[in-house]
Every structure is written in structure tokens, then in C-alpha cells.
Structure 1
Amino acid sequence: MPPAAELPSPTIAIAPGASSPQPAPQAPADSTDERPQPVEPPLRPAAEAPAQPDAAQAEMRQQAERQEAERIAAARLDLERREAEQRKAAVEAAARAEAARLEAQRLEAARQAALLQEAARAEAARQEAVRADARRIEAARLEAERKELAARQEAERALAARLEAQRLELARREAARLEAARIEAERREAERLEATRLAAARDAAAQEADARREAARRAMGRQLDEEAARREAAANATRPSDTRPSSWSSARRGRLFGRTDAHRELVQYAEAFARRIQLNTTMAMVAEAAAQPHTAPSSRWRSAATVRSNR
């Protein structure tokens, strides 16, 4: 509140003969009154009046004093009235200020409450969005797990089907292999039996041929022995007696002293005869081997050399 304007101090009228002058009361400063205060004109001092010591003058002086006192009392009452009005105005202004302050507090509280409500609404919306996002993520995770489980089950089913198909194919191939092996074994057994029969027949024929050749050789040997005996008898009759050791014999007999014998032709003959005995190669077997298709050794060596060079 602006300070109130100060009232001018009233002038004390001093009457002649007055024992003690009475000062006029001053109006207190009103801090709440903003209106300008009326300025009282200063009283003319009583000393300006002609000093007449008569009764009329005293009466006039007393009347002036009474008027001044009344005026001062009226001024005091007016001042009190104005002070009361100023106090009332100050109280009303304070009430208005308090009401404005309370209204401002109410508005601020309402604004804060609105802000809190908006923040709560935003927080609730955020939490709801977070929950919705969490539900969406969980649903997506469950859907992904479901799809992964379905894919894994489908892969396992496909793998089981593929393994079952492989097992059936292997079983079929094994059955076919066993059947083919059985048929091949039967064929080989039939071939073996046929080969055995043919070999037995060839052996029988070879033995028969050998027997015939052996009989022919023996007959030829007997004939040669007889001829040699006749020649030897004729020679013995015409030549002196034989002086060779008894271990020596005719041209068809001889003694072989191992592979280191000095008679090389006799060694070669003995080795060839030993191979014939070991191999038991009959003439029929030689004829059968010669009838088989064969490749000349020179061409076989050339083909083998070509294969080695290609490698």
C-alpha cells in the first residue's frame, strides 16, 4: 500500500493573556488511505488582532478558541472516520488479496491436479501400451515357437519317412541282392556241377586216352626192347664182349645225378618229364586249352604298357 499523505500541522492561536497554549492534535498517518487529504488553511494568529484588553475582545477570543476546538474536534472525528474507512478499505483489500491468493492457489492446485491427472493418464496409457506391446511380443514368441515346433515336427516326420523309405529301399535291395545271389549261387552251382561233370567226363576220356597211349607206349617199348635185344644180340655176336661198368645201360636207360649232372640233354629230358608228371597235362587238356580264345603275349604286354602310361 502507498503511504498516506501527511496532514499539515495546525497552527496554535495564542490569545493575549492566555496562560498556556493548547497544541492542536495532529492526524495520524493512514497507511491505507490513498486519497489526498484536504489542506486546512492556517489560522491567523490572534496576535494580529488589535490588542484590546476589553471584555469584547476576550469574548471574541474565547469564541474563537471554542470554534477552533470544535474545528479540531471535527477534524479529529473526520480523521478517525477516514482512518476507519482506510482500515476498512485495507481489510477489504487484504480480503480481496487473500481471496485472489486463495483463488490463485485453487487454480494452481487445479492446474497441478490436472497435470497430475494428465500425467497419470499418460502413465496409464504408457503402461497399457507397454502391456499391449508385451502381449504382442509374447503372442509373436508363442507363434514363432508354434511354427518352430510345427517345422521341427514336420522335419522329423519327413526324416522318419525318408529313413523308412531308405529302410524299405535297402530291404528291397537286400532282398533283390539275396535273390540275385541265390540265383547266381544256383547258376554257379549248376555250372560247377556241369563243369564237374564235364571235368569228370574229360578226366575219364583223358584217362582212357592215357591208358590207350600208355598201352601203345608200352607196346612200342616192348617192340623197341625186342628190336634192341635183337640188335644187341646181333651186335654181341659180331663184337667183343662189353667191358663197360655194370651201372651203364643201353641208349634207353641212363643214371641221372641231379640237376648238376654233366649230361645236359638228360637233365632237360628229366625236368620235362617231371613237369609232365606234376602238371598231369593230358593231350585232351592241351587241346582244350588251345581251343580257348587267347591274346598273344606281345599284344597283352603292349596293352598293359598303354594302361600304365595312361595312369
Structure 2
Amino acid sequence: MNLHMRLEAAQNALHTLLRQPAATLMTVLALAIVLALPVGLFAALNNLQQLLGHWRDQAQVSLFLHRDASAADIERLQALLEHGAGVASVRYVGKTAALREFEHNAGMAAAIQTLGENPLPASFVVELNPLAQSPGALRTLVARWGQEPAVASAQSDLRWVARLQAILALGKRAVWMLAGLLAVGAVLVMGNTIRLHIAQRRDEIDIASLVGATRAFIRRPFLYQGLFQGAIAGVLAWVIIAVTVSVLQGPVDHLAGLYGTQFHLLGLSSGQGLILIAASALLGWLGSRLAVGRHLDHTFS
């Protein structure tokens, strides 16, 4: 019996929405836009993190080796580096290769030749993912590498990693705050819409209460209206984000091609899209419940 009543209330809510397609569409679009803004910003932050995760040229650590480092120590050090957390790549630069690079970049071939021997040590160049660990953890990792027997000195500049992570943390907090404000706005939009529906059916509600209808019976169709409109708004917000990503992918491909690389924009995954729909439906239900609850408090008082 309870299931039958719930199905009947859901059908009643659906018929009410279909009888007013223009008003329903405007409400759903307004909610979809409100939801798409913070979710789109979250997607933008995810893409920025993906981009920065591949930008390792500035997140480098140079480990200069002792001249008398044994081959076994060097092999052990290389294995340690390759298994380090957040390590993207490890490159060994021998003394001869280091000399060639120095001569090429500094243009001091003649000065080096006057020394009669190669003064440059062998080294490891380690490229790090700047977002894999906190700056403190990265500094600790570099300090541990510097204490290895084969390492004479370690050179790195991880201050920009701390700045980068601080900027991303600030962006995430700002987006969360915006999402909270817009969620409240979505609840208010839905509450105002349901209040209009209640005003249109005020006489019907009053008569139902007089003949013994319970609060739950009167409230249930309006809750389903909010739930349905919220779920549809979540679907539309997902579509808006997917279309936006698709439209922007072409210019992004062109820009990435100018830098000789590739970058694929990330939209919402299936799981994230379902969470968006569920959250949107919940916001619609909450807005409806608040609006109906206030009206029923007056009706049954």
C-alpha cells in the first residue's frame, strides 16, 4: 500500500511538471546553470593539475656524485631514485656527457680545454611530479638522497612547488566556497518554484487537510517534483560541461601543437556525473521539503 501511494505521488508530480513545460524548463535550466558553474570550475582545476603534473622541467633535482663513487653505489642509487615517490624520470649524466652539455650551453670549450682534464662530476637528473607530494615531503626526500654515499651534493629549487601547491589549494577552497553558495542558491530557487506550485494548489491542499490527509500525503508529490527537477538539472549540467569540454578541445589541441605536445581535456567521469545528478536531486528535494514544510506548518497549526 505504501509503495502504491509513493508511485501515485510520483506520477502526480510528473504530470504536474509536464502540464507546465515552459515553467519546468526554465526552472531546470536555471538549476543546471547554477550547478554547472562550480562543477565546471572543479573540472578546470582537475585539468590544471593534469597539465602541471606533466610539467616537470622546473621540478628537477641534480645529484652530483663523488669522483670515486663505485659502480655498485651508482647502481644502487639509481634504483633508489627510480622507486622514489613522485619521481617521473631519472637520467644519468656521465662525466663526458656533462662536459659536452656544459660546452654546448656555456660556450666555454676553449677554457675547458686549457684545464687538461674534465672537472665536471657525473650526476643524476631527477624529474619530479610537482603535485605528487607536499613541498616538505619533497625536501625531505631530496635531503635523504643527498646523504647517500655516492652523492657529493644535491641541488634543487622547490620553492616554486610550494607556491604552486598553495595557489591550487587556494583555488580549491575558493571553488568549494562558491559551490556552497550556489548550492544554497539552488535550494532557494527550488523552494521558490515549489511555493508557486503550492499557491496554485492551495485550495486542493486545504480541502485535503480538512478530510484527514496527513502531512506526509500532502507533502509527498511536491517532494517528488523537487527530486525530478533536480535530477534533470543535474543531467543538463553534465551535458553543459561535456559540450564545453568538446568545444574547447579544438583550440586546446591547436595551442598544444604550437608547443609540440598533446593535451586532452578531462570532463566528468561516469561516476562523477552520477554524483552530480544525485547531489542535484538531493538539493531539489531539500528545497521542496523546506518550502512545503513552511506551508504545512501554517496549514496544520
| TM-score interval, normalised by the smaller of the two chains | under 0.3
Q: Of the two, which has the highest radius of gyration?
A: 1
TM-score when scaled to structure 1? 0.23
More strand by share: 2
TM-score when scaled to structure 2? 0.24
